[in-house]
A = this chain, B = another copy of it.
Amino acid sequence: MTGRTVAPRLNHPRLLERIAKLAEIGAIEGGGVCRLALTEADKAGRDLVVGWMRELGLQISIDAIGNIVGLRPSRTTGAAARAPVMTGSHIDTVRTGGRYDGNLGVLAGLEVMESLNEAGVETEHPLAVAVFTNEEGARFAPDMMGSLVYVGGLPLEDALATEGIDGTRVDAELRKIGYDGAAPVGAPAVRAFVELHVEQGPVLEREGVTLGAVESLQGISWTEFSVSGVSNHAGTTPMRLRHDAGYLAGATITFVRDLTRELGGDQVGTVGAIEFGPNLVNVIPNRARFTVDLRNTDEDILQEAERRLRGFVAKTAEQEGLTIEQRQLARFEPVLFDAALVARIEEIAGRLGHSVRRLPSGAGHDAQMLARICPAAMIFVPSVGGISHNVREFTDASDIAAGADVLLHILLELAS
């Protein structure tokens, strides 16, 4: 950083190269990525990103839940340093994930830093790029774990004791990959947070709009049901004498679909994971475990959906003579982003010549956690075919460039 500055400009090909490079780690057939949180692949991805942060001269800190923050100091340093303006996202993926989800937000943040370095720009407030631990929740529930701990929404010790779907624990896996950092969680305090992310839905593409200014986030409710019945012979056991754990799972899948139809609006519901025991063609299942994912932007309707689901499962279990245990894997209320910040994103996008619309997010994001402690908002770029959590996830290079440009400008504005 010298005294002479020019207007910073992003190097878009460099950003795309970093996306491609990071996607080589944990690459799976079809162009996708498998880097479940805290696995060896996640470690390799983290190492790559931390290496880039170091090359950019960022001050790197890693906290006790493995969140990585790369800080670009402000004009004023030392004790007089101000709270940084933060961007970032996550680099963990689902098992059959794409290369943009999360990764784009982190790597666009690095590109902003590099272009500011190249242009010799100094800011009033420091800038920071964060990589939050376990956003996906595909291995350890809840999702958005790292950012939730960062904002104080989940005690560190609870997060560390979380058991994963493979029987491992967060603390042990963090130690194993060497990302059980020494920095205090929740540091630094944040002046504002803006996250760039792929939409993961079909709205922008279908309306031919380049950018989304995200104004709200759906509330999320994840429940795991464990059902116990009686395994018995599929041929000799009359229907009326059955205690079929699998039947409750199937009936619930059907119920969830009907429920979304009845509630309408943007209510969605998904049974994504299931398991029967003993899982044989000619044995009535005595065990069934399945998850239900419910989301709505309206907290009241989401609670109504949860109530009806619980009621249906309890009633059906009683009729079938089953016992059930239920466990809340995740629960987040809908979030409203900072109205002024959303308006600024809209304005900047228009000024840069991009079509833009406000929209809610159907997915959960780290930004919703940061919204608890500072003004926060998000920029969306379109997902082709609305496809995400899938190896075919794709966003056009020109849309990525547009989103990253808006990120650069809003961060500069917030940091000055």
Interface residues of chain A, those whose CB is within 8 Å of chain B, are 94-96, 136-138, 141, 143, 199-202, 218, 220, 222, 224, 230-239, 241, 244, 246-247, 249-254, 257, 260-261, 266-276, 278-286, 291, 293, 295, 329, 361-364, 386-390
A286 to chain B, nearest CB (A): 7
User: Taking A199-B236, A202-B241, A386-B236 as contacts, is the C-beta distance between A137 and B250 under 8 angstroms?
Assistant: no
CA distance A361 to B281 in the complex (A): 18
| Chain B: CB-nearest residue to A257 | B247
Cβ of A390 to closest chain B Cβ, rounded Å: 5
Query: CB < 8 Å: which of B95, B238, B239, B253 contacts A202?
Result: B238
A233 contacts B201, CB within 8 Å? yes
State the 6 A-B residue pairs at the shortest beta-carbon distance, nearest first.
A250-B253, A201-B236, A236-B362, A234-B270, A235-B362, A281-B291
Interface of A is mostly: loop
Chain B residues, CB < 8 A from A295: 234-235
Bound together, the chains give a CA A139 to CA B257 distance in angstroms of 34
| A223 nearest CB neighbor, chain B only | B281
Please determine whether B268 and A272 come into contact, CB atoms closer than 8 angstroms.
no
Tell me how far the C-beta of A172 lies from the nearest C-beta in chain B, rounded to whole angstroms. Answer: 22
Residue of B nearest to A220 (CB): B235
* Neighbouring B residues of A286 by C-beta, 8 Å: 390
Residue in B199, B252, B253, B282 whose CB lies within 8 Å of A136: B282
Alpha-carbon separation in the docked complex, A236 to B269 (Å): 11
A143 to B283, CA, bound (A): 13
Contact of A273 with B268 in the complex, beta carbons under 8 Å: no
- The distance in angstroms between the C-alpha atoms of A368 and B148, with both chains bound, is 62
Q: How far is the CA of A218 from the CA of B291 in the complex (A)?
A: 36
A200 x B281 contact (CB < 8 A): no
Q: Are B261 and A272 in touch, CB under 8 angstroms?
A: no
Residue of B nearest to A217 (CB): B235
Cα–Cα, bound, A281→B270 (Å): 8
Please list 9 pairs of residues, one from A and one from B, whose beta carbons are closer than 8 Å in the complex, sorted by A's number. A94-B280, A138-B281, A138-B283, A235-B362, A235-B364, A237-B362, A244-B270, A251-B257, A282-B389
Contact A274 B253 (CB under 8 A): no
- Contact status of A390 and B231, CB under 8 A, knowing A95-B278, A272-B246, A285-B272: yes
Contact status A231-B137, CB under 8 Å: no
Taking a contact as CB atoms closer than 8 A, the residue among B95, B237, B363 that contacts A280 in the complex is: B95
Q: Smallest CB–CB gap between A66 and chain B, Å?
A: 20
CA distance A136 to B364 in the complex (A): 46
Determine which of B267, B274, B275, B386 lies in contact with A241 in the assembled complex, contact meaning CB atoms within 8 Å.
B386
A388: chain B residues within 8 A (beta carbon): 232-233, 236
- Residue in contact with A253 in the complex, picked from B95, B247, B281, CB distance below 8 Å: B247
What distance in Å separates the Cβ of A154 from its nearest Cβ neighbour in chain B? 17
Report the bound CA distance from A41 to B370 in whole Å.
56
- Chain B residues with CB under 8 Å of A389's CB are 231-234, 280, 282-284
